[in-house]
Amino acid sequence: MASVLRENIKISLRAIRSQLLRTILTVFIITIGITSLVGTLTSIDALKSSINSNFTNMGANTFTIRNREMTVRIGRDGKKPKAFRSITYQEALDFSKAYNFPAKPSVSTFASGASTLKFESKKTNPNIRVFGGDENYMATSGYELEKGRNFSSQEILFGNHVVILGKEVIDALFTKKEDPIDKIITIGSGKYRIIGILKSKGNSSGFGGDKVAILPLSNVRQYFARPNMTFTINVMCNNSQLMDAAIGEATGTFRVIRKLSAGEENTFEITKSDNLANLLIENMQKVTMGATIIGVITLLGAAIGLMNIMLVSVSERTREIGIRKAVGATKKIIRSQFLVEALVICQMGGFAGTLLGIILGNVIAFMFDISFIIPWFWIIMSIVLCLIVGTIAGIYPAIKASKLDPIDALRFE
C-alpha cells in the first residue's frame, strides 16, 4: 500500500510539472485562502494572549469597584453596559478608611484620554491618557517603576505638581536621551515635575499601557475637575486564596457607604482583574468565527478551481488512462492516482498558505507589540482543511477517470 502511494505521488508530481501554469494558479488560490484564515486567526490568538498577559500583570488578587458594569458590546444585539450614579471622592475615601480586611485599597480617577504633553520644543500626540491616583495606585494597577520614585503621602495630600510617565511618553519628549527625572513638562495649562518613569507594558490590545501620565489624585480633582466626576477603587488582596471573602467584605462595606437598604440592588460593580480579559476573549469568539467562515468560503472557491483543473487533466490524459488500464491498472489504482494528485496540489497550497499566514499574523501582532506566536491548532486545522478540500475537488474527476473504457480511451485523439 505504501509503495502504491509513493508511486502515485511521483506520478502526481510529473503531472503537475506538465501543466505547471494551471497548477500554480490553483495553488495560489488555495494559498490565499489558507493565508487569510491562518493569518487572521494567528493575529487573534496573539491578541488573546496579549489580553491575558495585560490583565495577569494586574495580579489574580486584584478587584475593582466602579460605577459602570463591565460589558463588551458587539453589534446592535449586544448588551448595553449598566451605569449607576457616580462614585464620589468622599465615598471612595470612606471606603478606604472603613474597609477592614488584609488588603491594600487605592482610589483613582480618569482625567483625560486625549492630552498633549510638552517639554521645551517637543510634544506628544494628543493621545496620552492621564490618570489621578494615590500612593497605592501603581501597585493595584500593575504598574512598576523603572526609574525614580512613587508619590509620597504628602504629595497626594497637597496635590503637588508631580507626575509619573509611561515609557512611550518619555521617548517622545526626551529624544536626546537626557535624564527625565526632575525635568519640568507641561500637561494642559499646568507645569509638572517628573519624579518617576514606568516600566514598559507595551501598547497591545489598544490599552496604551505606555502612553500614560499619572498625577496625584488631589491634583486631578483640582485641575481636571468636571461635573459628575467618578472615582474607581482598586483593591489588592494580600492573599489570593481570600479573594471571595475580600470581595464579600468590600461589597458589604460599600453598600453601607452608599446607604443601600437590605434587598436593594447594588449601585456599583465589582470586577476581578481577570474578568474583563475573559469577557473580551469570549466576545472575540465571534470575530474568530467570522474569519473562519471567510477563509472556508475562499477555500471552497479554490476547491471549484481545483476540480476544474482535475477535469481538464482527465480529458487531456485520456490516452494515458487507457494505456494504464490496458497494462493492468484497476479502477481503484486510477481513482487513487487522480485523488492523490488533487491532495498533493492542495497540500502544496496549504503549506505555502500556512507559512505566509503565520508570518502575516505575527507581523500584525508585532505592530501591536505582541510577542511571536505559533498557532499549532490552526496549522493542524489548515492541513485537515486542505485534505477535505482536496478530497472534495478530486473525488469526482478521480471517479470519472476510473470509469473510462480502456478501448475508447486508447482511440481518443
Q: Which residue has the cell 469568539?
A: 285
Question: What confidence category does residue 26 fall into, taking pLDDT thresholds of 50, 70 and 90?
Answer: confident
Is the pLDDT score of 383 beyond 50? yes
Question: What confidence category does residue 193 fall into, taking pLDDT thresholds of 50, 70 and 90?
Answer: very high
Best CA proximity match to 79, nearest among 263, 226, 224, 279: 279
Beta strands in 182-293 (DSSP E): 184-187, 190-198, 212-216, 232-237, 269-272
Q: What is the mean pLDDT of residues 96-120?
A: 91
Residue 212 backbone dihedrals phi, psi, to 5 degrees: -140, 145
Q: What is the pLDDT of residues 301-358, one digit of tens each?
A: 778 877 888 888 788 778 878 887 888 778 888 888 888 888 888 888 889 988 998 8
Query: Sign (positive/negative) of CA torsion 265, 269, 273, 274?
Result: positive
Sort 27 into a burial class: Cβ within 10 Å, 0-12 / 13-18 / 19+: buried
Is the pLDDT score of 148 beyond 90? yes
Q: What is the pLDDT of residues 64-76, one digit of tens each?
A: 999 876 554 555 5
> What pLDDT does residue 79 have?
56
DSSP assignments along 326-346, one per residue: HTT--HHHHHHHHHHHHHHHH
Pick the more confident residue, 29 or 8.
29
Question: What confidence category does residue 20 fall into, taking pLDDT thresholds of 50, 70 and 90?
Answer: confident
CB-based contacts of 218: which residues, under 8 Å, 6+ apart? Answer: 132, 156, 157, 158, 159
CB-based contacts of 107: which residues, under 8 Å, 6+ apart? Answer: 89, 92, 93, 96, 133, 134, 137, 217, 231, 232, 233
Q: What helix, strand, coil percent values describe the chain, rounded to 5?
A: 55, 15, 30
Q: How many CB atoms lie within 10 A of CB 174?
A: 19
Are residues 21 and 344 in contact, defined by beta-carbon separation less than 8 angstroms?
Answer: no
Q: What is the mean pLDDT of residues 74-86?
A: 64
Best CA proximity match to 396, nearest among 303, 320, 297: 303
> What pLDDT does residue 156 have?
93
Q: What is the pLDDT of residues 159-184, one digit of tens each?
A: 999 999 999 999 999 988 889 999 99
Average pLDDT, the chain: 82
Spatial distance between the Cα atoms of 309 and 394, rounded to a whole number of angstroms? 10
Q: Which residue has the cell 457607604?
A: 257
Best CA proximity match to 168, nearest among 206, 215, 200, 205: 200
Residue 350 backbone dihedrals phi, psi, to 5 degrees: -65, -40
Q: What angle do CA 224, 229, 235 make, to 5 degrees?
A: 105
Q: What is the mean pLDDT of residues 280-308?
A: 76
Best CA proximity match to 289, nearest among 74, 78, 37: 37
Q: What is the mean pLDDT of residues 352-366?
A: 85
Pick the more confident residue, 345 or 194.
194
Length in residues, the chain: 413
Q: Which residues on neighbouring strands pair with residue 103, listed in sequence order?
A: 237
> What pLDDT does residue 231 have?
95
Q: Which residues on neighbouring strands pair with residue 411, listed in sequence order?
A: none
Q: Helix count (H) and strand count (E) of the chain?
A: 13, 12
Percent of the chain residues topping a pLDDT of 90:
28
> What pLDDT does residue 303 have?
81
Are residues 321 and 314 in contact, defined by beta-carbon separation less than 8 angstroms?
Answer: yes
CB-based contacts of 348: which residues, under 8 Å, 6+ apart? Answer: 27, 30
Q: Which residues on neighbouring strands pair with residue 118, listed in sequence order?
A: 123, 186
Question: What confidence category does residue 204 fall into, taking pLDDT thresholds of 50, 70 and 90?
Answer: very low
Domain boundaries, the chain: 2-53+280-411, 62-271
Q: What is the pLDDT of residues 212-269, one digit of tens each?
A: 999 999 999 999 988 889 999 999 888 878 888 999 999 999 999 999 888 888 889 8
DSSP conformational letter for 251: H
> What pLDDT does residue 413 have?
56
> What pLDDT does residue 206 have?
43
Q: What is the dihedral of CA 312, 315, 318, 324, to 10 degrees?
A: 30
Are residues 67 and 85 in contact, defined by beta-carbon separation less than 8 angstroms?
Answer: yes
Best CA proximity match to 238, nearest among 62, 95, 36, 29: 62
CB-based contacts of 46: which residues, under 8 Å, 6+ apart? Answer: 361, 362, 364, 365, 370, 371, 373
